[in-house]
């Protein structure tokens, strides 16, 4: 039957404190990490930590002093004080108080070492209370934090709690692995002793043989640790018994029985007597067997070891069978059967606890994995959606850029076309219509006037003696004069009029809706403007004038070529009539002179008495 050291604190009465001391030796549940701001409190805490497993009375006295300094404690000191209180609760048998306080610490703290220590202590306390499911859950909280714990002793204590609890629930391989992990990490002597006990128990549970040297080496680590040393010897003895060395086992147990009884630890005392009862029965030392049965059963109430009880009842039944026969042995057999059932249930419930917690952990892990996968799926969907949105945005941007560049291109093309059109329609020097475009516009205007039945006039003018301007002042001055003349006429034109340069210094105007008299007025205005042009801006002083010819479109006379020819004739008459004058072409009286000398058109060709253009240098 498996046997294992029970967690400490489960035994009522006067032995409780000593049992708690053992728990502290094995699990060393204590405070760590000191704050620096209050040396006296730190000193008290350190002293209490040092004495926690050896002198509970002194620890109680120190706690009294520590409590007085709590109001001025730093947060880290407060954590140490709380751990000390938990320790005190455990050593005084107030396990439920310890559990509540540890749960509170776990709820409040995010600090890894604090949580590790609290969860390890909680696992230990729950095991003491035989709440193995809760103990295993507490380990599930503590163990993942172990790699973060830099304080080696604190880390070892937590891992050893795990090893002890796993032995208790029959998970010997796990227990052995944790003990070996700690063993490989330079543990202190006290921990090495606990490792020896846990390892031997696990090996027995796993039916793994070990030689005497292994057990003796373990015992060598247990100087000053009588209870743990007692466990090591008990596991050693059991190993001897299992390998047919009952006499050696009895000798080992008998040799240390007095020391074990001196510890006052009922669990271990009951275990010793129960195993001795079994072994002495096997060696037919019936008296000793009976004595050990009586001792084991006497302490069984405090021991809380179903294993020791069932062993003792079995030996009692065997002794009764041998002394009084089957009938006399029946009551003993019934007690044995009941004890065995209780023990069986106890074992099963421990093993079940492990399975339940593992199952729950697996379920939790699966749920976490499922959530993780769902989360990944959501993230994937989100990134797909985002990618799609980005693609749409990109597409929209490309479209916008495309449309914008197409628009810009269309705009540029249109502008280019317009510029080209203007260039083809415009006289480069003066900016007014060129001859070609003027002719087209004139034809269109005249056609419209004919349709509308309204009059129209065509005015032609040619600058007088312009050659002299070029010859005397240069071609640039001539160009300047041409631009000034065009600019002087433009304000006189309406939107419907067409004004163009017919070539050289010759210009034409088509004036829809105007008769000859109105056209003459406009020509006179233009003449006045030419006279007012200040040529000094070109660097020279000279005067500008022109000879104007006006033709009016009468009934059936809207043909541009005809009208242009008439105006040309009138202008020719103006030139020959003395220049700087306006002449109007009329079919019935073609020699009417307006705003200058009057004479028949054809007769008046040639110079007149009108003053020639005077050039002022």
Ligand X SMILES: Nc1nc2c(ncn2[C@@H]2O[C@H](COP(=O)(O)OP(=O)(O)OP(=O)(O)O)[C@@H](O)[C@H]2O)c(=O)[nH]1
Nearer to ligand X (CB atom), residue 159 or residue 481 = 481
Q: Based on the shown chain and the rule CB under 6 A, indicate whether residue 137 belongs to the binding site for ligand X.
A: no
Asked if residue 32 lies in contact with residue 151, where contact means CB atoms within 8 angstroms, the answer is: yes
Alpha helices in 243-305 (DSSP H): 246-263, 266-282, 286-303
Q: Which of 475, 600, 602, 614 binds ligand X (CB under 6 A)?
A: 475
Q: How far is the CB of 502 from ligand X (least distance, A)?
A: 11
Q: How far is the CB of 501 from ligand X (least distance, A)?
A: 9
Q: Which residue minimizes CB distance to ligand X? A: 478
Q: Which of 139, 303, 432, 463 binds ligand X (CB under 6 A)?
A: 463
Nearer to ligand X (CB atom), residue 193 or residue 486 = 486
Give the span between the Cα atoms of 421 and 547, in whole angstroms.
31
Nearer to ligand X (CB atom), residue 502 or residue 519 = 502
Give the strand pairing for 593-594 and 546-552.
Answer: unpaired
Q: Which of 239, 575, 576, 580 binds ligand X (CB under 6 A)?
A: 575
Nearer to ligand X (CB atom), residue 192 or residue 575 = 575
Q: How far is the CB of 573 from ligand X (least distance, A)?
A: 13
Token digits of residue 375: 């989360």
Token digits of residue 145: 């934090």
Q: Based on the shown chain and the rule CB under 6 A, indicate whether residue 59 belongs to the binding site for ligand X.
A: no
Q: Based on the shown chain and the rule CB under 6 A, indicate whether residue 484 belongs to the binding site for ligand X.
A: no
Nearer to ligand X (CB atom), residue 302 or residue 464 = 464
Q: Based on the shown chain and the rule CB under 6 A, indicate whether residue 505 belongs to the binding site for ligand X.
A: yes
Total number of residues that touch ligand X (CB under 6 A): 16
Q: Based on the shown chain and the rule CB under 6 A, indicate whether residue 466 belongs to the binding site for ligand X.
A: yes
Q: Which of 292, 465, 580, 583 binds ligand X (CB under 6 A)?
A: 465
Q: Based on the shown chain and the rule CB under 6 A, indicate whether residue 470 belongs to the binding site for ligand X.
A: yes
The residue length of the chain stands at 617
Backbone angles phi, psi at 583, to 5 degrees: -125, 145
- What string marks each residue from 145 to 184 as x (binds ligand X by CB under 6 A) or -? ----------------------------------------
Nearer to ligand X (CB atom), residue 464 or residue 591 = 464
Q: Which of 372, 415, 421, 467 binds ligand X (CB under 6 A)?
A: 467
User: CA–CA distance from 429 to each of 161, 225, 474 (Å)?
Assistant: 107, 121, 16
Beta-carbon contacts of residue 383 (< 8 Å; ≥ 6 apart): none
Q: Based on the shown chain and the rule CB under 6 A, indicate whether residue 483 belongs to the binding site for ligand X.
A: no
Q: Based on the shown chain and the rule CB under 6 A, indicate whether residue 60 belongs to the binding site for ligand X.
A: no
Which residue's entry shows tokens 């749409």? 392
> Of the listed pieces 284-292, 396-404, 472-480, 581-589, which binds ligand X according to CB under 6 A?
472-480
Q: Which of 209, 407, 504, 539 binds ligand X (CB under 6 A)?
A: 504
Token digits of residue 297: 């059963």
In this structure, the dihedral spanned by the alpha carbons of residues 405, 408, 412 and 417, taken in order and rounded to 10 degrees, is 100
Q: Based on the shown chain and the rule CB under 6 A, indicate whether residue 568 belongs to the binding site for ligand X.
A: no
Which residue's entry shows tokens 């295993």? 136
Give the span between the Cα atoms of 443 and 460, in whole angstroms.
15
Q: How far is the CB of 570 from ligand X (least distance, A)?
A: 15
Beta-carbon contacts of residue 5 (< 8 Å; ≥ 6 apart): 22, 26, 164, 197, 201, 228, 231, 267, 268
Q: Which of 570, 607, 581 is nearest to 523 (CA)?
A: 581
Q: Based on the shown chain and the rule CB under 6 A, indicate whether residue 85 belongs to the binding site for ligand X.
A: no
Nearer to ligand X (CB atom), residue 133 or residue 506 = 506
Q: Which of 49, 201, 462, 484 binds ligand X (CB under 6 A)?
A: 462
- Three-class DSSP category at 584: strand
Own/partner pairs, 53-57, CB within 8 angstroms, 24+ separation: 53/21, 53/24, 53/25, 53/28, 53/190, 54/21, 56/17, 56/20, 56/21, 56/91
Q: Based on the shown chain and the rule CB under 6 A, indicate whether residue 440 belongs to the binding site for ligand X.
A: no
Neighbours of 118 (CB within 10 A): 28
Q: Based on the shown chain and the rule CB under 6 A, indicate whether residue 500 belongs to the binding site for ligand X.
A: no
Q: How far is the CB of 571 from ligand X (least distance, A)?
A: 10
Q: Which of 610, 488, 471, 490 is nearest to 540 (CA)?
A: 471
Q: Based on the shown chain and the rule CB under 6 A, indicate whether residue 473 belongs to the binding site for ligand X.
A: no
Nearer to ligand X (CB atom), residue 230 or residue 478 = 478
Token digits of residue 14: 């006067």
Q: Based on the shown chain and the rule CB under 6 A, indicate whether residue 578 belongs to the binding site for ligand X.
A: no
Task: Map 111-136 to HEC letters.
Answer: CHHHHHHHHHHHHHHHHHCCCHHHHH
Nearer to ligand X (CB atom), residue 372 or residue 467 = 467
Nearer to ligand X (CB atom), residue 372 or residue 614 = 614
Nearer to ligand X (CB atom), residue 93 or residue 478 = 478
Token digits of residue 301: 């109430």
Q: Based on the shown chain and the rule CB under 6 A, indicate whether residue 224 belongs to the binding site for ligand X.
A: no
Helix (H) or strand (E) holding 481: helix 475-489
Nearer to ligand X (CB atom), residue 265 or residue 466 = 466
Judge residue 214's burial from the number of C-beta atoms within 10 Å of its C-beta, 0-12 exposed, 13-18 middle, 19 or more buried: middle
- DSSP string for residues in 349-378: HHHHHHHHHHHHHHHHHHHHHHHHHHHHHH
Q: Which of 351, 450, 479, 525 binds ligand X (CB under 6 A)?
A: 479
Q: Based on the shown chain and the rule CB under 6 A, indicate whether residue 478 belongs to the binding site for ligand X.
A: yes
Q: Which residues bind ligand X (CB under 6 A)?
A: 429, 462-467, 470, 475, 478-479, 482, 504-505, 575, 579
């Amino acid at each position: 039957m498996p046997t294992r050291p029970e967690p400490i604190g489960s035994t009522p009465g006067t032995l409780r404190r000593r049992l708690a001391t053992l728990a502290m030796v094995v699990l060393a549940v204590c405070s760590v990490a000191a704050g620096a701001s209050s040396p006296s409190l730190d000193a008290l805490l350190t002293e209490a930590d040092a004495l926690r497993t050896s002198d509970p009375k002194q620890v109680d006295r120190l706690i009294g002093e520590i409590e007085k300094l709590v109001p001025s404690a730093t947060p880290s000191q407060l954590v140490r004080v709380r751990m000390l209180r938990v320790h005190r609760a455990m050593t005084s048998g107030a396990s439920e108080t310890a559990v509540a306080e540890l749960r509170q610490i776990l709820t409040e703290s995010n600090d890894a070492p604090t949580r590790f220590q609290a969860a390890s202590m909680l696992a230990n306390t729950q095991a003491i209370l035989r709440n193995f499911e809760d103990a295993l859950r507490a380990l599930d909280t503590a163990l993942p934090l172990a790699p973060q714990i830099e304080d080696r002793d604190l880390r070892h204590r937590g891992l050893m709690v795990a090893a002890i609890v796993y032995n208790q629930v029959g998970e010997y391989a796990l227990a052995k692995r944790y003990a070996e992990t700690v063993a490989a990490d330079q543990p202190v002597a006290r921990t090495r002793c606990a490792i020896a006990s846990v390892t031997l128990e696990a090996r027995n549970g796993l039916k793994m043989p070990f030689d005497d040297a292994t057990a003796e080496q373990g015992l060598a680590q247990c100087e000053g640790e009588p209870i743990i040393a007692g466990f090591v010897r008990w596991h050693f003895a059991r190993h001897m018994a299992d390998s047919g060395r009952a006499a050696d086992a009895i000798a080992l147990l008998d040799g240390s029985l007095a020391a074990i009884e001196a510890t006052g630890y009922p669990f271990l005392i009951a275990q010793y007597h129960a195993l001795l009862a079994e072994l002495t029965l096997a060696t037919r030392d019936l008296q000793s067997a009976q004595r050990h049965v009586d001792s084991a059963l006497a302490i069984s109430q405090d021991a809380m070891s179903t294993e020791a009880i069932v062993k003792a009842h079995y030996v009692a039944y065997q002794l009764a069978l041998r002394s009084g026969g089957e009938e006399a042995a029946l009551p003993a057999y019934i007690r044995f059967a009941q004890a065995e059932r209780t023990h069986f249930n106890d074992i099963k419930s421990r093993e079940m606890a492990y399975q339940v917690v593992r199952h729950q952990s697996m379920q939790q892990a699966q749920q976490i994995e499922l959530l993780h996968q769902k989360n990944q799926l959501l993230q994937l969907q989100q990134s797909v959606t985002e990618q799609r949105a980005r693609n749409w945005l990109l597409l929209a941007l490309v479209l916008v850029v495309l449309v914008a560049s197409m628009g810009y291109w269309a705009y540029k093309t249109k502008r280019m076309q317009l510029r080209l059109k203007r260039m083809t329609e415009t006289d480069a020097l003066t900016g007014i219509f060129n001859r070609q475009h003027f002719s087209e516009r004139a034809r269109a205007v005249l056609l419209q006037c004919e349709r509308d039945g309204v009059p129209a006039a065509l005015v032609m003018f040619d600058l007088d003696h312009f050659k002299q301007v070029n010859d005397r002042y240069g071609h640039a001055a001539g160009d300047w004069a041409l631009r000034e003349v065009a600019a002087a006429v433009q304000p006189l034109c309406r939107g419907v009029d067409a004004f163009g340069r017919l070539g050289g210094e010759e210009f034409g105007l088509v004036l829809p809706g105007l008769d000859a008299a109105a056209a003459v007025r406009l020509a006179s205005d233009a003449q006045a403007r030419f006279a007012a042009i200040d040529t000094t801006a070109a660097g020279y002083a000279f005067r500008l004038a022109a000879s104007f010819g006006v033709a009016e479109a009468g009934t059936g006379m809207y043909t541009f070529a005809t009208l242009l020819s008439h105006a040309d004739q009138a202008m020719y008459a103006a030139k020959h009539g003395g220049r700087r004058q306006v002449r109007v072409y009329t079919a019935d009286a073609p020699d009417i002179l307006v705003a200058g000398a009057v004479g028949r058109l054809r007769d008046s060709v040639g110079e007149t008495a009108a003053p020639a253009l005077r050039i002022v240098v």
